Amino acid sequence: MKGINKSKRLFRKAQGLIPGGVNSPVRAFKAVGGQPLFISHAKGSKIYDVDGNAYIDYVLSWGPMILGHAHPSVVKALKAAIEKGTSYGAPTELEVKLAEMVLKAYPSMDKVRMVNSGTEATMSAIRVARGFTKRDRIIKFEGCYHGHADGLLVKAGSGATTFGVPDSPGVPRSYARNTITLPFNDLKAVKAVVEKDWKNIACIILEPVVGNIGCVLPKRGFLEGLRKITKKYGIVLIFDEVMTGFRVSYGGAQAYYGVEPDMTCLGKVIGGGLPVGAYGGKAEIMSMVSPEGPVYQAGTLSGNPLAMTAGITTLKILSRKGTYERLEQKGLALEEGLKDAAKRAGVKTRFYRAGTMFCTYFTDREVYDYQTAKQADTERFARFFAGMLKRGVNIAPSQFEAGFISLAHTDKDIEKTVRAAYDVMKSL
């Protein structure tokens, strides 16, 4: 590395202008120590900091850059779109085209509404579910992050079932009280709560593969069990596929696991890296959304032409024959390489992967929910992170975030990553 002097200077300046010096908390490197890198540009599988250092990137803007950074086709399409104007605040043909592509990929959705972020998508989907069922309470799972809307920033207390306690100042207790938090993969806990309180429960929302405590896979029968319970009691089942959508498979986790939700939230990939989100579902549910129905939701930049253009171009490439087979090969090569590196270095790890999402936990125990994820050795991960960064490999600056693979990652990238991992793990 050439050093990170300019990054350090920029961070010091930013701290006097922006809370914590960053515009999203995890970027501050507090979980791993050190100071964040300031990025100047990115191309393909790599990002480059302001000091001229290059890194193989497995953060990929937290998921959306599945084609790699600055894909030529996306860049070309965006240049043409910019010349026509950046925002109209009016309908465009582009919105219709992207909606058609999304609905074709996700047959569980009859209609879809474009928004500007994953937070907007989940917040709006829950509002619609409440309007549709005329019930107030929701069930979410520990470790599943659904954005920073009030009522979703809650943590679980002791016991299997806990009514919401605000996890952030500024969230009213009266609002958070309608959020019930349960352990992920615990179908028994869900049944107990629903059987007792189903008349008040509007929806169950979850990441079908949890990407915000690393990468936690659903146990066999868990998603199927949720589908059965929600159908029985008229509860709306919402899959938050902001992270898993078009990543676990072209049709998301719902296609991969064969479980169809009532509503789906999307983001990230469908904007080709630009700010975007979407929520959709069954026609009878989506008919509640204004102006067709009484549930209000709006956004000046929703369906903006730049995000729609990047999304259409991205999905066209992803839908080509053989694309996901190539992604799976890359994912498998990285998985086998990192597992082998840990074994040869004598370091106990647990590696989990769903399509192009993955995580290495520094623990020798199975990880299947928030509590078991927390048993991972965060100090060891912090040293691993620092060692990988020093060797030119950028992974998420937290043990509890997923990593991502793109079409741009080459065999050489993966080989270099595995060699770096082995070298760092030996030093642990």
The residues carrying an active-site annotation are 145, 240, 268
DSSP string, 161-200: -EE-EESSTTS-HHHHTTEEEE-TT-HHHHHHHHHHHGGG
Name every residue whose Cβ is closer than 8 Å to that of residue 112 and which is 6 or more positions away in sequence. Answer: 99, 102, 103, 266, 278, 279, 280, 286
Report phi then psi at 275, rounded to 5: -60, 120
Helix/strand/coil percent split, the chain, to 5: 40, 20, 40
How many residues comprise the chain?
A: 428
Instruction: List, edge to edge, every strand of the sheet that includes 46-49.
Output: 39-43, 46-49, 54-57, 393-394
Give the pairing of strands 393-394 and 54-57: parallel
> Scanning the structure block, which residue is given the tokens 């930049």?
301
3-state secondary structure (DSSP) of residue 303: coil
112 contacts 97 by C-beta, under 8 angstroms: no
Residue 72 has phi, psi (to 5 degrees) of -55, -40
Task: Establish how many alpha carbons lie within 13 A of residue 426's alpha carbon, considering only the half-sphere containing its beta carbon.
Answer: 7
Phi, psi of 352 (to 5 degrees): -130, 145
Backbone phi, then psi, for 419, in 5-degree steps? -60, -45
In angstroms, the Cα distances linking 260 to 158, 224, 228, 233, 302 are 32, 9, 11, 16, 26
Cβ–Cβ under 8 Å, residues 111 and 325: no
Distance between CA atoms of residues 110 and 338, nearest Å: 41
